[in-house]
Structure 1
Amino acid sequence: MKTLSRDIQGFDLVSQWLIWTDNVANFDLEGLPLNTAILEERQAYPLWPPFTIKDDSTNGEVTYSGLCIMMLDELGLRLNFSYKLVEPSDNEWGRLDNGRWTGMMQQLVTKQADMMAAAISIQQEREDDVDFTYPFFYDYKGIIMKHDTSNLDDWDELIDPFQPVSLVLLLLSVPTMAALLCVCENITPANQQDKRSDWPLDISPFKSFSHCLLYMYGALLCEGGEDTCKSLTGRTILAFWWLFALVVGGIYTGNLVASRTITAAAPVINTLTQLLEHPSYRWGIEQGDYLSMMFPTSNIDKYKAIWAGVERFNKTDPTVLSSNYSAHMAAVRRGNYAFFNDKSILAVEVSKDCENLVLATEQFLPMQFAIGLHQFSLYRLQLSKE
């Protein structure tokens, strides 16, 4: 691999860069091949979409795609360089382990690679040993978990659309209106026998309170009947009751659908504090992720508590500190497990399985993704401009 410090030709190239102006069009790496570290799981499953995606199912050949690959292709075209992708043997982003870097950071620091091109964030500890370009993406850390469906079959959920006071008034309105209709039908002249006439009287069924009660209840459920009132007063009462029943039915149906939709999308836990207070939940982080360095050294109480929980769970369940992203997501789908990672990546998981997965509303630790380079690299400025 030809670099700027390995041979005389490289030093000649350095001197040429130093006298160039800011005109990016003049910047040319003369086809220089760069070893680029990229974090990817060595399986067909795409580990980090949409940034880096690996596919080895095409004729047995490994191919890479994603936003970072598209960015590398465009940079190589503009600045005239080629690249070779190299995966870290430990499949980690990069953390300090007894003073030594792991993962992609180790590849870059030891000059096994010339560039890190992945969704790796700029952090103070990393900047002490490598340089970064200007950020190309901004993100936060998020929390993903399985949606709790334990209460979706409760029958008492059917009364949730109305407040208790509304339900009581609605129930009282049925016998009240039934009694009013019955009284009106009994006192109306249309239902009184004319003593001067020999024609038989067609008795209205609404003269019976029980019939009025059943009719009012059926109308509330939008179930009609063939009976009608003989009096104009009774028919007016029924007309207003049917209008009332339609309005109540529409409001109930809308609120019921809305309440079930909100329940299906709402997470059980929304914040780190709530997670700490939930005794049945475990949580994990990806080994090599920046959180595996930040949590142990943080002075914030809730971060300390989160890391204490990770250490406690790790004694019986090594998944909580696994570097295998798929293992964490499998634990999430089993339930009672929260996984911390980049929010944009977790949002992709939720979009693929929104019925079972949900994101907590809290986001923390703002991040900036950038290309990593050797310290004092002369590529940094020109790559940032592009």
Structure 2
Amino acid sequence: MEVTDDPNRGYLIDNVRYEGYAFDLIEEISKDLDFEYDFEIVPDKQYGVYDPVTKQWTGLFGRLMRREADLAVCDLTITKFRLSLVDFTTPFMNLGIKILFAKPQNEVPDLFSFLSPFSTDVWIYVATATLALSLSLFILARIAPTEWHSAHPCASDPEELENNFNLKNSLWLTLGSLMQQGSDILPVAPSIRMVTGMWWFFTLIMGSSYTANLAAFLTNVKMDASISNIDELAAQSKIKYGAIRGGSTAQFFEGSNDSKYQKMWQTMLEARPEVFTTTNKEGVERVAKGKRTYAFLMESTSLEYAVERNCNLMPVGSLLDNKGYGIAVPPNSPYRTLLSGAILKLQEKGTLRELQTKWWLKGSKNCTQGEPEPSSGELTMAHVGGVFLVLVLGCTGSFVIALCEFIWNVRKVAVEEKITPGEAFIAELKFTLNLWAETKPIKISRSSNASGSSASGGNGFTRAASAARSIVGSFLRLDTLGK
């Protein structure tokens, strides 16, 4: 890697300083074998491919085959094909092919996720059907003769009949059935019973469908494409996957005799847009930006290095093969045996493991330490917060309506009792705040003897039981006066 924070650290190559595992490895080997070295970077920065025009190999392999370098060290995997081009030392690091994929994002559940079992248009249709059926009940009840009955059952020859299915009661019946709570108002006429039965059947199906899907929508915020092993990756088509073009991973799939790997190789060749990359860094960036639509097949050591530095990435599955990194030397090089012996010594002393720990953990974000514990599936406030919000809004609305009823009743009492609205308001408010009162008098009366009665706020008014009449009482009295 390039050194940017210290002009004196690392190895100077073409006016740029570098450091990393490979530099330290050669330094340790040079101490054991007592030799000096100079590092060079291949101009095309490639492992090497065959050029049919020049009929020569490019990159590292080209330099070694032309003996322009004594050795090449990097994440160079030992393969059978590469052994036919150059020689390799004993592996200094073991690895295998693994899948790099993006972690699933922990999305915050929607506040109104309890509405998710039905789409918006279904909710609109349900609301429309509720209102339409309420209106139908109201009209049909006015048509049906048996829905009209005496207000006083004891009267044998009543002068007037009443109907329970007004607009409010009709809406209350449909809403109670929709919420599966029932209603204290039931139909008598056959036509009304038929309509109500059909509505009950409708609410049965809709309620069962909603309940069956509600748990899935609350616990699973979003189901996206995911994989857990190579078989699932090969079996699906939504997630694209690729590797470094011309690299050992691509050669593994290209030369494999396994039908599964042959199918995956053919899929990679036919994929559009291009799924192959030129470097591991490009593949890692594509996975990070792909939003779980792209997986990168790469060597496990490079994968571990990338995962330590990006907490949004994760390895998937087990190793597909077993191989190693080695130092490449020209064919029949006299240095191969000496370098292999030095690598074995470093391995026995534990130096190779120390170097890997040093460079793999350097710059690590310790992603595993900050990972939350797996969820046990319980619902949190983020899942059901919308239900509480609806409850709070409903309670708030009921208090607003109750306040309007209270003010309307104060006006009624003031008119009928011929007192000022302020006096009626104070009397009603005192009764409301008297939490121990269990009965409510009907009428506010003026005391005939001011000195013999207790004053109430200096207005000379008393309550029969310290209370004002309710709106229901007002209506009953008006009915009596009207008759």
For 2:235 and 2:110, how far apart are their aligned partners in 1? Answer: 25
Residues 92 and 289 of structure 1 are in contact (CA less than 8 Å); yes or no, is this contact kept in structure 2? no
Flag as ranges the 4+ runs of structure 1 deviating above 6 A. Answer: none
Q: How many Å apart are 1:55 and its aligned residue?
A: 2.8
Residues 43 and 59 of structure 2 are in contact (CA less than 8 Å); yes or no, is this contact kept in structure 1? yes
Q: How many Å apart are 1:78 and its aligned residue?
A: 2.9
For 2:69 and 2:51, how far apart are their aligned partners in 1? Answer: 19
For 2:31 and 2:252, how far apart are their aligned partners in 1? Answer: 37
- Quickly say closer, same or farther: Cα 1:115–1:154, change in 2 above 3 A: farther
1:326 corresponds in structure 2 to 281
Letter matched to residue 375 of structure 1: P
Find the partner of 1:91 among 5, 23, 45. 45
For 1:330 and 1:119, how far apart are their aligned partners in 2? Answer: 19
Find the partner of 1:284 among 209, 217, 242. 242
2:84 corresponds in structure 1 to 128
Number of residue pairs aligned between Structure 1 and Structure 2: 226
Equivalent residue of 2:39, what SS? strand
Letter matched to residue 70 of structure 1: D
Residues 249 and 299 of structure 2 are in contact (CA less than 8 Å); yes or no, is this contact kept in structure 1? no
1:302 corresponds in structure 2 to 260
- Quickly say closer, same or farther: Cα 1:151–1:58, change in 2 above 3 A: closer
Q: How many Å apart are 1:150 and its aligned residue?
A: 6.7
For 2:107 and 2:6, how far apart are their aligned partners in 1? Answer: 44
Q: How many Å apart are 1:366 and its aligned residue?
A: 0.9
For 1:271 and 1:97, how far apart are their aligned partners in 2? Answer: 36
Unaligned runs of 5+ in 1: 1-52, 158-258
Alignment of 1:187-206 (within 5 A): none
Letter matched to residue 114 of structure 1: D
Residues 283 and 337 of structure 1 are in contact (CA less than 8 Å); yes or no, is this contact kept in structure 2? yes
Q: How many Å apart are 1:65 and its aligned residue?
A: 1.8
Alignment of 1:184-333 (within 5 A): 268-313=226-271, 315-317=272-274, 320-333=275-288
1:55 corresponds in structure 2 to 3
Q: How many Å apart are 1:304 and its aligned residue?
A: 1.3
**Aligned-pair identity (%):** 23
Q: How many Å apart are 1:136 and its aligned residue?
A: 1.1
- Quickly say closer, same or farther: Cα 1:78–1:362, change in 2 above 3 A: closer
Residues 95 and 292 of structure 1 are in contact (CA less than 8 Å); yes or no, is this contact kept in structure 2? no
Q: Does 1:108 align with 2:64?
A: yes
For 2:49 and 2:249, how far apart are their aligned partners in 1? Answer: 9
For 1:121 and 1:316, how far apart are their aligned partners in 2? Answer: 27
For 1:111 and 1:56, how far apart are their aligned partners in 2? Answer: 32
Letter matched to residue 69 of structure 2: A
2:100 corresponds in structure 1 to 144
Q: How many Å apart are 1:56 and its aligned residue?
A: 5.4
For 1:147 and 1:130, how far apart are their aligned partners in 2? Answer: 39
- Quickly say closer, same or farther: Cα 1:352–1:119, change in 2 above 3 A: same
Q: How many Å apart are 1:152 and its aligned residue?
A: 6.5
Letter matched to residue 363 of structure 1: L
Alignment of 1:31-46 (within 5 A): none
Q: Deviations over 1:273-320 (max 9, x none)?
A: 21122221111111231123232232211221221122122x423xx2
Alignment of 1:365-380 (within 5 A): 365-380=321-336
Residues 139 and 367 of structure 1 are in contact (CA less than 8 Å); yes or no, is this contact kept in structure 2? yes
RMSD of aligned alpha carbons: 3.1
For 1:113 and 1:152, how far apart are their aligned partners in 2? Answer: 56
1:362 corresponds in structure 2 to 318
Q: How many Å apart are 1:137 and its aligned residue?
A: 0.9
Equivalent residue of 2:322, what SS? strand
Letter matched to residue 343 of structure 1: S
Residues 147 and 358 of structure 1 are in contact (CA less than 8 Å); yes or no, is this contact kept in structure 2? yes
For 2:21 and 2:70, how far apart are their aligned partners in 1? Answer: 19
- Quickly say closer, same or farther: Cα 1:330–1:64, change in 2 above 3 A: same
1:67 corresponds in structure 2 to 21
For 1:152 and 1:305, how far apart are their aligned partners in 2? Answer: 38
For 2:323 and 2:110, how far apart are their aligned partners in 1? Answer: 41
For 2:264 and 2:56, how far apart are their aligned partners in 1? Answer: 24
For 2:98 and 2:77, how far apart are their aligned partners in 1? Answer: 14
The one of the two structures with greater contact order (alpha-carbon pairs below 8 A, sep at least 6) is 1
Residues 140 and 366 of structure 1 are in contact (CA less than 8 Å); yes or no, is this contact kept in structure 2? yes
Find the partner of 1:352 among 302, 306, 309. 309
For 2:323 and 2:45, how far apart are their aligned partners in 1? Answer: 21
1:384 corresponds in structure 2 to 340
TM-score, length of structure 2 as denominator length: 0.42
For 1:285 and 1:367, how far apart are their aligned partners in 2? Answer: 17
Residues 92 and 103 of structure 1 are in contact (CA less than 8 Å); yes or no, is this contact kept in structure 2? yes
Q: How many Å apart are 1:151 and its aligned residue?
A: 6.6
